[in-house]
Structure 1
Amino acid sequence: MASNSVYSLAQLGAALKTARLKRGQTQAAIADLAGVQRQWLVQLENGRLPNPSLQKVFAVVETLGLTLALADDDDGADVR
């Protein structure tokens, strides 16, 4: 499976939308399965949700059969 680097909420939303469309699923279906409101998912996919609940994001990610991973920056900077 391919991996994508995501650097903003807008990019995360776009990646989730792409994954949903590849699976042929509607926003309503994914929202229902993830236990979130469809309008919330619409805003997330469009990068218009300034402070999304991480719990809800994980629910959508899991529903789509995806995983989230953290990686060190290429410059080797310490994460604090």
Structure 2
Amino acid sequence: MATPRIHAAAALGDLVREARLAQGLSQTELAADAAVGRQWLVGLEAGDKASAPLDMVLRVLRALALDVTLAGSHREGRPVPERPTLPTASDILSRYEKRP
């Protein structure tokens, strides 16, 4: 199965709910397994946790054994910008070695 690409909180919530139901878990059971509150999980599944703490989201994904790719959304027709090339540690260190 391909790793789902998540572009929005609602899509993450849908994925979590579908995986939970497919595994026969209640919200209470998943919340306990992931060490999050049930009401918090309800909000995540509803897509209401756009600014959820990453550690909590990761605990839920881990409890469900889900792998996802988080992707920024882009308007249709616009190219996805290339990632900038970041300097390596060697590049950074060499800058300091050249200083008097």
TM-score normalized by the length of structure 1: 0.83
Tell me, yes or no, if structure 1 residue 7 matches structure 2 residue 12. Answer: no
Q: Which residue of 2 aligns with 1:77?
A: 82
Opposite residue 69 of structure 1, the aligned amino acid is: T
Alignment of 1:1-80 (within 5 A): 1-69=1-69, 75=80, 77-78=82-83
Larger radius of gyration: 2
CA RMSD of aligned residues (A): 2.3
Opposite residue 24 of structure 1, the aligned amino acid is: G
Separation in 1, partners of 2:69, 2:8:
14
Question: Which structure ranks higher in relative contact order (CA pairs < 8 Å, sequence separation ≥ 6)?
Answer: 2
State the identity %. 35
Query: Post-superposition shift, 1:76?
Result: 5.9
Separation in 1, partners of 2:31, 2:13:
14
- Structure 1 unaligned segments of length 5 or more: list them: none
The alignment of Structure 1 onto Structure 2 pairs a total of residues equal to 79
- Structure 2 unaligned segments of length 5 or more: list them: 87-100
TM-score normalized by the length of structure 2: 0.68
